[in-house]
Amino acid sequence: MLRTISPEPLVADAPSRLLPARQGWWFVSEGGSAKLHPAQVDADGTVAPATLDRLREQGLLRKRPPSTYSLTVLTSTDCNLGCGYCFQNIAQDPRGGSRPPRIEHARLKPDTTSAILDFTRARMAEAKLDKLALMLFGGEPLLNLRGAVDLLERAAELGKLTVSMVSNGTLLTPLVVRTLNAAGLGSVQLTFDGDRDEHDAIRVTRSGGPTFDKIVDNAAQAMSAASVRWHLRVNVSHLNKHGMDALVQRLADRLDVTQCTIQFALIGDVGVGYGNELSYGGALAAEFTRWHRAAQERGFTLTRPRSGKGCQACEHPDGQYGAVVSADGSLASCWETAGRPEWVVGDVDGGYLSGEHIADRWITCTDQYRHGEHAAELAAFQDEVDAELLDLLHPAGTR
């Protein structure tokens, strides 16, 4: 199977992926996706010139500059869970329990919020943008609900605001969701680590307690309390793969699937002392396809494959269109390095560091998941999964 490729004629155009499907190819870019016949792509993965012209006419090759400034803020670096694979752990629990030492404690305060918003206002003006996409992040952002609400209410002054949040879900209540929704929250991402038994052995409180039923119960109540979209990220590893079929059914039985998007994602080898031992062969790709199909049949929305670039904050080395800010006001290139002093690339008071100081610290989303010698194998696996997912989303080949 060929790796994702961007044919030579597309170098000056938008980032794109060419995925080998069962019959033909899927072309994926920022502008959408299109199914290509086998005859439209050469054996080496080069798209025929006439096909490129057609894709360009359809707007699939157009490179679109961001229309919204992307801001991720850690309202608290603390977390009430002790997941062993978390990239914010700085070591394993020396006692073998569920209290791994984490990044340094920081909590968003009003004066830091003011500095963050002043910084953001200036960056948006420089980029000539009047829309702001704000993500509440942590740690666990709900450990500082007051700081989160204050940030949202004041951020609305910067322009048209859309707000999302990544939360572990254990602190969600109808009142919390209504309060954040009133301040602008539109979507929440929750994470599951397999079905109940597997999840409760992996995603545990710092005292070792289970979390599955708490998260599901909280989400079910919150879904009836406010108009919020829910993104369910399901982490897949050798420890929980066998429980995915039962998980899909259990979530469909207990949640309002019409409000939920679901995504199955491999856990990268990013935690201290953690390794995902799954083999990326064809059998695993087939299982991902089965889980996606089962979720779709039960009414969940599936996550659309992307063109392959990083997030808006880390994609541009100068942070032109986005920023990741920790609770103390320090800047990181990507949310995966926030809160780590060795990866700080500036602060909201002084801005980004100069080029010679920033070069070795600018880490992107894709840098974090290269998987060393398994990179090519992982990439081929993801291509196969994404091509099958596109077939499920658009069986007729439409965008």
Instruction: Supply the DSSP string of 268-284, one letter for each residue.
Output: PTTSTT-------SHHH
Q: What is the pLDDT of residues 323-344, one digit of tens each?
A: 999 999 999 999 989 999 999 9
* H/E segment holding residue 73: strand 69-74
Mean pLDDT of 356-380: 73
Does the structure show a pLDDT above 80 at 12? no
Residues 75 and 158: their CA atoms lie apart, in Å, by: 19
Residue 248: predicted pLDDT: 98
Q: Give every CB contact of residue 288 below 8 A, 6+ residues apart in sequence.
A: 236, 264, 385, 388
Residue 310: predicted pLDDT: 67
Q: Residue 21 in contact with residue 7, Cβ under 8 Å? A: no
Residue 7: predicted pLDDT: 39
Residues 193 and 222: their CA atoms lie apart, in Å, by: 20
Q: What is the pTM of this model?
A: 0.92
Amino acid found at 169: G
Q: Residue 186 in contact with residue 230, Cβ under 8 Å? A: no
Q: What phi and psi, each to the nearest 5 degrees, are found at residue 254?
A: -110, -15
Q: What is the mean pLDDT of the chain?
A: 89
* Coil/strand/helix, residue 263: strand
Edge-to-edge strand order for the sheet containing 69-74? 301-302, 260-266, 229-236, 185-192, 160-166, 131-137, 69-74, 322-325, 330-332, 346-347, 351-352
Confidence of residue 358 (pLDDT cuts 50, 70, 90): confident
pLDDT > 70 in the chain, percent: 91
Does the structure show a pLDDT above 80 at 10? no
Q: How far apart are the first and last CA of the chain?
A: 23
Residues 170 and 80: their CA atoms lie apart, in Å, by: 9
Q: Counting beta carbons within 10 angstroms of the beta carbon of residue 8, is it exposed (0 to 12), middle (13 to 18) or buried (19 or more)?
A: exposed
Does the structure show a pLDDT above 60 at 370? no
Residues 332 and 190: their CA atoms lie apart, in Å, by: 23
Residue 229: predicted pLDDT: 98
Which of 47-51, 264-268, 372-376 has the lowest average pLDDT?
372-376
Confidence of residue 185 (pLDDT cuts 50, 70, 90): very high
Confidence of residue 4 (pLDDT cuts 50, 70, 90): very low
Tokens of 155: 């951020």
Does the structure show a pLDDT above 90 at 124? yes
Residue 365: predicted pLDDT: 76
Residue 357: predicted pLDDT: 80
